[in-house]
Structure 1
Amino acid sequence: MKLSQLLPRLSRHASLLVISFVIAFPFLWMITSSLKSDGEIRRFPPVLWPERPLWHNFSAAWEAAPFGQYLLNSVLVALVIVLIQIINSAMMAYALTHMNFRFKNALMAIILTNYMLPVSATYLPSYIILSKLGLIDTYTGLIISNAVSIFSIFLIRQAFMQLPKELAEAAKIDGAGHVRILFSILFPLARSSFIILALLTFITNYNNYFWPMLITKSPELSLVSAGLRSFFVEGGGYGMKWSLIMAGSTFTILPLLILFVIAQKWIIKGVSNAFSVNKG
């Protein structure tokens, strides 16, 4: 390889390494800080690795707050929301791509318009509706309020638009109904997009903080983000026990880090497919 070709390539790789380090450094600092004493965390100049790792900080943090319950709550709620969103998004995307009805384009325009609407603008009306239904401070209210996602509909719609329409038309000629076409033909062909939908939805709802904290007040219903904040305010004393706070943060973020390492190629592929332009 010529030097004129090698230098730009090395420069590009070096830039990517620097950017990656900047992005990963907060996670690295959080993990190493969970092994330090409070004095080492406050030391100036700071040190990355402690002189003597305090592994018991993890057990102390685990016993100081019910992180096991928080993790279980978040995982179960996120999984249920994932299942509901997959079904809802698949049916809506199928209707928008393989069915003809009046105001179809208007419905798609409304969906895209709602995608541009700030999420915070929906909090007040959603809270009022859940309050009238008696679903405040319940998992049912939390799950129902997250049952539909505009991004999920858009993602699956893009996936269906990239599939040959002749497959659905041939199935209709053979007498297949809409449900069979959707789940027996289109669903398997768009499997990668549904995997991405499941991963992104799980991560989003696992990390969700403000809305669950707003509608769930009981400590036993707290999700991991709200539970970590409660530990920070009450158990952590606003920074009096930073080592335990960092250990608790490591508990909460570790499942997502493992999930991202396993599924990063699917996440990147799904996001790129979501915004690809349909050439058909």
Structure 2
Amino acid sequence: MLPMNRFFSRMILYVSLVIICIVMVFPFLWMFSSSLKTNDEIWAIPPILWPAEPLWSNFIDAWHSAPFSLYLFNSVFVATAVVVIQLINSSMMAYALSHMKFALARPLMGLIIVSYMLPVSATYLTGYVILAKLGLLDSYSGLILSNTITIFGVFLLRQAFLQIPKEVAEAAKIDGAGHWKILWKIMIPLSSSTLIVMSLLSFIGQYNNYLWPMLITKNPNLYLVSAGLRSFFVEGGAYGMKWPLIMAASTFTIVPLLVLFVVAQKWIIKGVNNAQTVNK
């Protein structure tokens, strides 16, 4: 039997967690339920949580009202390519800053931190000019190459690499391993949890990216999900007159993110266990 004070503290903790979960999940549940309603049921007073007759056909109507398959492909393809390139270059930069000695290491790290403080919008003009001179506007190459450097990723991976005991890298050097082998055979496997978290954050950011892709692309065939939803809201959604279809479109566009979380969950736990093993 638990003491009463511990029992009540746990009860308060569990109740708080349940309330937080409900607050976090409710917007998604409301979006899903609204996608099955009629327009009148959405605006009904008092609000209706679940429709009298769910209209599952709203998903089919929304899917055929705009090229959402193309929007989803664009977002998944661009986000995946960006994440892969970011993982490679961020890992190499983070390893150089954490386990290699060179004269400009500290000034370079300071520059990276200062760059992270700059608002993203401050780079839009120069980025647009560079892409225009390279002929990469209105192309998949422009969408991908303009997002392949992440200051946050470099900083995050550097901190993760610093948590790995230096004796591990030194032992590998004694065995004849070079920097490249130490990075890919030791540092990255032992920092898998951080890499997965970075990948998730980067993928979500790129998948939902709106302003920058809209600035450098004018071709509707290159629209990402966010731009596609806005276009559907303005045209197919008739400026909000077809809210059930808008809610249905919003629902199936977040499915890739939900699948990603479900698939990556076990790898996050595995990475945490690996990190605990190293610390022991």
* CA shift for structure 1 position 2: 2.8
Q: Deviations over 1:103-154 (max 9, x none)?
A: 2111111111111211111112111111121111111111111101011111
* CA shift for structure 1 position 41: 0.7
2:232 equivalent to 1:226: no
CA distance in 2, matches of 1:111, 1:205: 21
Match of 1:242 in 2: 243
Q: The residue matched to 1:212 in structure 2 has which SS?
A: helix
* CA shift for structure 1 position 29: 0.5
CA distance in 2, matches of 1:155, 1:264: 19
* CA shift for structure 1 position 79: 0.8
* CA shift for structure 1 position 73: 0.8
Match of 1:112 in 2: 113
Classify 1:150/1:156 alpha carbon distance in 2 versus 1 (closer, same or farther; 3 Å): same
Which AA in structure 1 matches 2:157? Answer: I
Match of 1:197 in 2: 198
Match of 2:134 in 1: 133
Deviates more, 1:173-182 or 1:149-158: 173-182
Q: Give TM-score, length-normalised by structure 1.
A: 0.91
Deviates more, 1:143-152 or 1:160-169: 160-169
Q: The residue matched to 1:35 in structure 2 has which SS?
A: coil
Match of 1:51 in 2: 52
Match of 1:65 in 2: 66
Which AA in structure 2 matches 1:254? Answer: V
Q: Deviations over 1:53-96 (max 9, x none)?
A: 00000000000011111111111111111110011011001100
* CA shift for structure 1 position 253: 1.1
Deviates more, 1:175-184 or 1:137-146: 175-184
* CA shift for structure 1 position 3: 2.6
Match of 1:80 in 2: 81
RMSD of aligned Cα (Å): 2.0
Deviates more, 1:139-148 or 1:176-185: 176-185
Match of 2:275 in 1: none
Match of 1:275 in 2: none
Work out whether residues 196 and 266 of structure 1, in 8 Å CA contact, stay in contact via their aligned partners in 2: no
Q: The residue matched to 1:44 in structure 2 has which SS?
A: coil
Which AA in structure 1 matches 2:121? Answer: S
* CA shift for structure 1 position 269: 9.7
CA distance in 1, matches of 2:51, 2:209: 32
Which AA in structure 1 matches 2:224? Answer: L
CA distance in 1, matches of 2:8, 2:233: 48
Work out whether residues 136 and 142 of structure 2, in 8 Å CA contact, stay in contact via their aligned partners in 1: yes
Which AA in structure 2 matches 1:12? Answer: L
Match of 1:149 in 2: 150
CA distance in 1, matches of 2:268, 2:206: 16
Work out whether residues 196 and 267 of structure 1, in 8 Å CA contact, stay in contact via their aligned partners in 2: yes
CA distance in 2, matches of 1:24, 1:148: 32
Match of 2:122 in 1: 121
Q: Give TM-score, length-normalised by structure 2.
A: 0.91
Classify 1:140/1:232 alpha carbon distance in 2 versus 1 (closer, same or farther; 3 Å): same
Structure 1 unaligned spans of 5+:
272-278
Deviates more, 1:240-249 or 1:118-127: 118-127
Match of 2:12 in 1: 11
Classify 1:162/1:114 alpha carbon distance in 2 versus 1 (closer, same or farther; 3 Å): same
CA distance in 2, matches of 1:152, 1:266: 19
Aligned residues: 272
CA distance in 1, matches of 2:265, 2:27: 19
2:22 equivalent to 1:21: yes
Work out whether residues 38 and 243 of structure 1, in 8 Å CA contact, stay in contact via their aligned partners in 2: yes
CA distance in 2, matches of 1:173, 1:261: 40
CA distance in 1, matches of 2:18, 2:260: 22
Work out whether residues 33 and 49 of structure 2, in 8 Å CA contact, stay in contact via their aligned partners in 1: yes
Q: The residue matched to 2:102 in structure 1 has which SS?
A: coil
Q: The residue matched to 2:240 in structure 1 has which SS?
A: coil
Match of 1:93 in 2: 94
Q: The residue matched to 2:54 in structure 1 has which SS?
A: coil
Work out whether residues 199 and 267 of structure 1, in 8 Å CA contact, stay in contact via their aligned partners in 2: no
